Amino acid sequence: MATENLVMKATGLVKRFGKVTALDGADFELRPGEILAVIGDNGAGKSSLIKCLSGASIPDEGHVWLDGKEIHFKTPMDARRAGIETVYQDLAVAPAMTIAENLFLGRETRRQGFLGKYLGALDKKKMLEESVARMQELKVGIRSMTQAVETLSGGQRQCVAVGRAAAFAQHVVIMDEPTAALGVKEGNMVLELIRRVRDRGLPVVLISHNMPHVFEVADRIHVARLGRRAAVLNPKKISMSDTVAVMTGAMPPESIPAECLAH
Amino acid sequence: MLRNSATLTAAVALTIGAAATAFAAGEPVVGLITKTETNPFFVKMKEGAAAAAKAKGAKLLSGAGKADGDNAGQVTAMENMIAAGAKTILITPSDSKAIIPAIKKAQEKGVMVIALDSPTDPAEATDALFATNNYTAGVLIGEYAKAALAGKPAKIVTLDLFPGHPVGAQRHNGFLKGFGLPSNEAKNNELAKPAEVVCMADSFGDRAKGQTAMENCLQKAPDVNLVYTINEPAAAGAYNALKKAGKEKGVIIVSVDGGCEGVENVGKGIIAATSQQYPLKMASMGVEAGVEYAKTGKKASGYTDTGVTLIAAKPVAGVESKDVKTGMDLCWGKK
Amino acid sequence: MDSLKGKLPPISQLGPFIALFIACVFFALTTDRFFSAENLSLILQQVMVVGVIAIGQTLIILTGGIDLSCGMVMALGSIVMTKFAADFGLPTVIAVLCGLGVTVLFGLINGLLVTTIKLPPFIVTLGTFNVAFAITQLYSQAQTVTDIPDAMTWLGNTFQLGGGAVSYGAVFMIILYVLVWLWLRETGAGRHVYAVGNNPEATRLVGIPTERVLLGVYVLAGLFYGIASLLAVARTGVGDPNAGQTENLDAITAVVLGGTSLFGGRGVILGSLAGAVVVGVLRNGLTLMGVSSVYQVLVTGILVILAVSVDQLSRKSTR
C-alpha cells in the first residue's frame, strides 16, 4: 500500500485551455528515491501534468503537495526555489558558453566582499571547482568543464543538462524526453546517469515515449490517459505490449491484473 | 416640360464649359522637386520659386525626396504633381540616371522637365538645365589662390567629395585650371593630380570627415600652404584640423557654395575665398520658364549658367571678387 | 599543439588584432610617416566617435539584435547638448546631461518596442533612425550650432605622450572599452547578455529575466551613443546636424570586423575597438600612400566578408 511519506502528491488537477480540457481531475504521487516514468499518448495530458508540477502552468482546480506542504507555484522560478529542477526537451543550454558557465546559468556565484556584493563580480574559480566536483560525483566523463557545450555530442549535452538539474535540485528532478534523438550508446549513458541521480537520493520524474528505456530504469510507471491517471504499473511484472495497451486504452484499467499494478 | 429641362441642361452645360475654359486659361502650375526638404540650399530654392510664382501669377507645388538619394520619393512627387495639373517640373535629381524613365513619361504627357543645380545623366534627358557652372566656380577660386599665394611654390591639398561624382570633379579640375596647373577638361570626371598637389583625400562634403581628411594629409604633407575644399562644411573641418596643428595662419583655404554659414566663415578668416552659387536664381528662372511654356508653348532648352560670384574678404589684384557683405546679402541658408 | 589551440582564443576573435597588426606593419614599411607617435594618436582621435558608438552596437548585436539608429541618435544628442548650451545658456554639465537624457530615451524606446511589442530590432531601429533624423533636422533647422562653451569641447583637448598628442576623449574611449569588457567577463549580468543572444529560450527557462536584460542593453547603448555625441562635439567643436549619417554602418562594420557574430551570443568587445581602429588605419595609411579612397572602401568590404566567413567557418568546425 502507498506510504504517506510522499515527496510529491497531486489530486484532482484540472486545466482547461479554452474549450479543450487538458487535465480532467488528474492525480499524481511521487515516492522518495524512485524513478517514476510518466507515459501517455499525445493529448493524454502528461505535458500539462508536468507543467503544473514544475510551475510552468497554474492548474484551474486541484491541489499539489511537496513534502507534505501544499504549494502554489506561479512561475518555474517558484518551483526551482522550492527545490524542483526540470530538464527540458530542448535542454535550455547556451551552446557557445562553457559547461561550467551553463551549469551556473542564472544562479552564478558571486565573490565574497565588496567586489561581489556591489559590483556583481563572479567567483569563476569556485564555480569551476564545483562544476568539476558535481560532474565527477555523477561520474559524467567529460574532460574539461571549460569547453563550449556545442563541442559536445548530443548525449554529452544531455548529461550536462541532467547534471545541472541534479546538482541544484533538493527534492525532485523532472526530465522531459531525455533520451529522444540519442543513439544507443549515448542513450545508455544518459540512463546510467539518471540511475545515479536516483541513487544519490533524488526522486526522478521521467517523461518518455521510449518504452525500452522506460522499462530499463523506471521503478513505477504512471500512465496518463484522457487527462487523468489511468493506472500506475509495475514494470517488473507487466509486459511492454500490455503497457502500451493500457496507454492507448485497448486495455481498460479494470482489466489490469493486480500484480501488474505498482503498490 | 421637356423644353424646360432641355434649356436647363443647356444652361448647365454652358456654365460648366465656361468654367472649364476659365480654369484652363488660369494660372500655370509648376512643380518643384528638390532632393531633400531641409538642406538650406534647397530651402532657398523653394523660396526663390515661391517668390517668382507669386510675381508671375503661377501656382507652385513643391515636394522632395526623404533624403539625398531617395529617387522613389521624387518619382512619386512628380506623378502627383502632374496629376494635379503641373505642366512644368523643376527637379534637382537625387539619382541622375534612375529618374530618367519618370521624366520620359512626364514628357510624353506634354510636361516640360527642367533640371536644376545638377544634370541628369545624360543631361539631354531633360528639356533644359539651369545650374551653376561648377568648373567655372573652381576656376575662380583657383585664380584667387594663385594671386593670394603671390609666387610662393604651391603645396596643395585637395579635399574632394568622393570618387566619380561629376560636381566634385568639375570643381577640383576647375580649381587647378584656374591656378594655372595642368588639369582635365570640364567633361572629364577624373581628378587631375599635378605634382603641386601633395595630398588628395575625400571629405564627403562633411565637416567631421573633412577634419579627418585634413589631419591625414597634414601628416603626409606638413608644409601645405593651400587647401581646396569641395564645399564649406569640409572647409570648416579642414580649418579645425589646421588649428589643432597650429598651422591655420599659414594656410589658405578656398571653397565653393556661398551658403550663409560659409560666407560668415569668409568674414571670420576661416575661408579665404568661396565661389557663391545661386539656388534662388535657378528656381526663379525655372518658374519663369514654366510660365512661358504655359502661355506660349515655347519650351526652354539647353544649359543656362546661373552664375557664380567670387566672395573674398581680402581682394587680390587681377581677380574680380565681391566683399563679404555682398556675399551675406546674396547668400542662401539662415543668416 | 592541440592544447595550445585550446588555450588561444578562436581565430574569429584574434582575427581583427592580426589584421590590425598586418595593416600597421604594411603602412609602416610603405610610408615614412605612418609609424610615428603623432600619427598613431591622430588615428585614435579619428576613430573615437565610431569607437564609442560601437560599444553600444556590440552589446545590442551580442543579444542577437541590431541598431540602425545609432548614428542618428548620436547626432540628435550632439544637437541637443550644443543648442541647450548655446540657446538657453545652460551650464555645460547640465546641457550634456540633457543630451545624454535624449539618447538614453531613444535607447529606452528602442528597447521597449523590442521587448514589449516584440518587434524585430531591425525594423524598430529603422523607424527610430528616421524619427531621430527628422527631429535633428527640425530642431536644428539644418543649422550648425557654433558658440558652444569651451568646457564642452574639453575631451578634444590633448596632452603630450611620447611625442604624440593624445586626446582625453581617446583615453576615455579606451577606458570605457576596458570597463565594458570587464563587466561582460566578470559579472553575471554580462554573462546574461551573452546567454540571451546565444539561446533566449534557455535563458527564459533558467529564470533569467530576458526582457529586462534586453531592455537594459538598449538603454545602455543609448548612453554610449550620448557619450559619442559629446566626443563628436569635442572633436569638431560644433553641433553638426548632418553628422552621424555614415556612423550607423561604420559602427556595425567595426563590430563585424571585430569578430562579434551577427547572430548573437559570441564576440569579444575589445574586437570592436580593433575593428574601428583598423578602418581608421586603412583610411590614414592609404591617404599617406596617395591611394584613392575607393581602395579603402574596397579593402574594408573585403575585410568584412573575411570576418563574417571566418566566424561562420570556425563555428561549423566545432560541430
Return averaged pLDDT per consecutive 10 residues of chain B, 335 residues in all.
Answer: 57 54 68 88 90 93 86 93 93 90 94 91 91 93 94 94 84 95 89 93 91 94 95 95 92 94 94 94 92 92 92 92 92 82
Domain boundaries, chain B: 6-131+279-300, 134-277+310-330
What chain C residue is nearest to B193 in terms of C-alpha separation? C290
Q: Is A63 helix (H, G, I), strand (E, B) or coil?
A: strand
In the beta sheet, which residues pair with residue C160? Answer: C165
User: Do A77 and C207 make contact, defined as CB atoms within 8 angstroms?
Assistant: yes
What chain B residue is nearest to C166 in terms of C-alpha separation? B244
Q: Residue B39: what pLDDT?
A: 81
Using 70 as the pLDDT threshold, list the residues of chain A that sit under it. 1-4
The tens digit of pLDDT for each residue in C283-315 reads 999 999 988 878 888 988 998 898 888 877 776
Q: Grid coordinates standing for B251?
A: 594656410
The CA distance from B126 to B128, in Å, is 5
Q: Grid coordinates standing for C10?
A: 578562436
Instruction: Please check whether residue C239 lies inside any domain of the structure.
Output: yes
The CA distance from A197 to A192, in Å, is 9
Instruction: Please check whether residue C243 lies inside any domain of the structure.
Output: yes
The tens digit of pLDDT for each residue in A213-257 reads 999 999 999 999 988 998 899 999 889 998 999 988 888 888 888
Q: Residue B21: what pLDDT?
A: 47
The CA distance from B197 to A237, in Å, is 97
**How far does the CA of residue A244 sit from the closest CA of chain C (Å)?**
32
Instruction: Please check whether residue C13 lies inside any domain of the structure.
Output: no
Nearest CA to C24 out of C13, C40, C12, C11 is that of C40
* Architecture in CATH for domain B134-277+310-330: 3-Layer(aba) Sandwich (3.40)
CA torsion through residues C50, C56, C59, C61, sign: negative
Q: Residue C319: what pLDDT?
A: 45
- Split into its structural domains, chain C has a count of 1
Say if domain B6-131+279-300 classifies as CATH 3.40.50.300. Answer: no
Tell me, yes or no, whether chains C and A touch by having 3 or more C-beta pairs under 8 A. yes
The tens digit of pLDDT for each residue in A17-46 reads 888 999 999 999 999 999 999 999 888 888
SS (H, E, C) B272-296: CEEEEECHHHHHHHHHHHHHHHHHH
The domain that contains C140 carries what CATH number? 1.10.3470
* Architecture in CATH for domain A8-92+172-183+203-260: 3-Layer(aba) Sandwich (3.40)
Look-up of cell digits 598613431: C40
User: In Å, what is the CA distance from A18 to each residue of A13, A21, A62?
Assistant: 16, 8, 18
The residue among C69 and C157 whose pLDDT is bigger is C69
B239, B208 Cβ separation under 8 angstroms? no
Q: Residue A2: what pLDDT?
A: 46
Q: What ipTM describes this predicted complex?
A: 0.85
The CA distance from B47 to A111, in Å, is 67
In the beta sheet, which residues pair with residue C164? Answer: C161
> Is a pLDDT exceeding 90 seen at residue C109?
yes
If you average pLDDT over residues C35-47, what whole number do you get? 90
> Is a pLDDT exceeding 50 seen at residue C143?
yes
The CA distance from C238 to B285, in Å, is 36
Q: What is the CA radius of gyration of chain A?
A: 19
The CA distance from A23 to A9, in Å, is 15
Residue A199: Cβ within 10 Å count: 10
Helices C168-186 and C37-62: crossing angle in degrees, nearest 10, is 40
What chain B residue is nearest to C237 in terms of C-alpha separation? B240
Residues from chain B that touch C236, judged by Cβ atoms under 8 A, are: 207-208, 211, 237, 240
Domain boundaries, chain A: 8-92+172-183+203-260
The CA distance from C228 to C155, in Å, is 11
Q: Residue C9: what pLDDT?
A: 67
The CA distance from C205 to A76, in Å, is 8
Look-up of cell digits 524606446: C109
Tell me which residue range forms the domain holding C291: 37-308
The tens digit of pLDDT for each residue in C116-134 reads 999 999 999 999 999 999 9
Write the DSSP assignment of C224-274 as a string of letters: HHHHHHHHHHHHHSSB-TTTTTTHHHHHHHHHHHTT--TTSS---HHHHHH
Q: Residue B3: what pLDDT?
A: 58
Residue C173 banded pLDDT, cuts 50, 70, 90: very high
Q: What percent of chain C has pLDDT over 70?
A: 95
The tens digit of pLDDT for each residue in B107-162 reads 999 999 999 988 888 889 999 999 999 999 999 999 999 999 988 999 999 999 88
Nearest CA to C19 out of C27, C29, C30 is that of C27
Q: CB distance from C189 to chain A under 8 Å? A: yes
Tell me, yes or no, whether chains B and A touch by having 3 or more C-beta pairs under 8 A. no
Q: Is A163 helix (H, G, I), strand (E, B) or coil?
A: helix
In the beta sheet, which residues pair with residue B256? Answer: B275
Q: Residue C242: what pLDDT?
A: 87
Q: Residue A92: what pLDDT?
A: 85
> Is a pLDDT exceeding 60 seen at residue C4?
no
From A96, A105, A108, residue closest to C266, measured CB to CB: A96
In the beta sheet, which residues pair with residue B88? Answer: B30, B112
Instruction: Please check whether residue C32 lies inside any domain of the structure.
Output: no
